[in-house]
A and B are shown apart, each in its own frame.
Chain A
Amino acid sequence: DGGITQSPKYLFRKEGQNVTLSCEQNLNHDAMYWYRQDPGQGLRLIYYSQIVNDFQKGDIAEGYSVSREKKESFPLTVTSAQKNPTAFYLCASAKGNFPYEQYFGPGTRLTVT
């Protein structure tokens, strides 16, 4: 089945630790995205990538890092510099042409204490 997978579904970390969230897609999509969603809030864009080996900062990139070494994979690292890392993290992908609709993975719920 084609789709987007994120792992793990739930992740718990201690403050001060870096953590990497996985995102894989087998849809042959060019573009991939990371969003963060806080309770009662909309989705906020962290990073996106339109092509392998290239990525751009979104609206809230501080404290996060990404890589795009393969078309299928776009891991997100939440660093200790991120002040409020506890959130629901969503990965999405898109073909990269009009109308630019995005498809989401199931998300990773990160709790940092």
Chain B
Amino acid sequence: RKEVEQDPGPFNVPEGATVAFNCTYSNSASQSFFWYRQDCRKEPKLLMSVYSSGNEDGRFTAQLNRASQYISLLIRDSKLSDSATYLCVVNSLPGAGSYQLTFGKGTKLSVIP
């Protein structure tokens, strides 16, 4: 099983749609979870951290299910500017290895006018 697995997409959605991305991770000892956004030929940028209780930032909602080792990102009212690749990221190891993050390959989103 891959450490962090995502549906590569692409997801092509109309403006205003709601879209959900899912991610699974293999290491049950992982402690921290993130969604990053990467625009074409640019660096990844932190979108949001993911907490067990779920968290929301404007149109974005992230959820974590530790029992199922599953992370989700929901984008409501999609904008053209949301078009990007969304990376699911997990810290892989406890203790000294916590410094390392494992990145999924990303899910590509295209929002269409």
Residues of chain A having any CB pair with chain B under 8 Å = 31, 35, 40-43, 45, 48, 50, 58, 88, 90, 94, 96, 98-107, 109
Within 8 Å CB of A109, what residues of B? 41
Contact residues of B between 28 and 44, Cβ < 8 Å to A = 31-32, 34, 41-44
Number of interface residues of B (CB under 8 A): 22
- Can you list 8 contacts pairing A with B, beta carbon distance less than 8 Å? A42-B103, A42-B106, A48-B100, A103-B46, A104-B43, A105-B43, A107-B42, A107-B43
Q: Please pick, from A41, A96, A101, the residue contacting B32 in the complex, using a CB distance under 8 A.
A: A101
Q: Please pick, from A42, A45, A99, A104, the residue contacting B100 in the complex, using a CB distance under 8 A.
A: A45
Taking each of A35, A40, A45, A100, which has the highest tally of chain B beta carbons within 10 Å of its own beta carbon? A100
Nearest-neighbor residue (CB-CB) of B105 within chain A: A42
Within 8 Å CB of A58, what residues of B? 100
With A31-B99, A96-B99, A98-B98 in contact, do A104 and B44 touch (Cβ < 8 Å)? Answer: yes
Residues of chain B having any CB pair with chain A under 8 Å = 4, 31-32, 34, 41-46, 49, 87, 91, 96, 98-101, 103-106
The 9 closest A-B pairs by CB, nearest first: A99-B32, A104-B43, A42-B105, A43-B103, A42-B103, A100-B91, A107-B43, A31-B99, A100-B32
With A42-B106, A98-B32 in contact, do A104 and B45 touch (Cβ < 8 Å)? Answer: yes
CA distance A35 to B42 in the complex (A): 13
Taking each of B34, B100, B105, which has the highest tally of chain A beta carbons within 10 Å of its own beta carbon? B100
Nearest-neighbor residue (CB-CB) of B49 within chain A: A99
With A45-B100, A94-B99 in contact, do A101 and B105 touch (Cβ < 8 Å)? Answer: no
CA distance A50 to B93 in the complex (A): 15
Within 8 Å CB of B91, what residues of A? 99-100
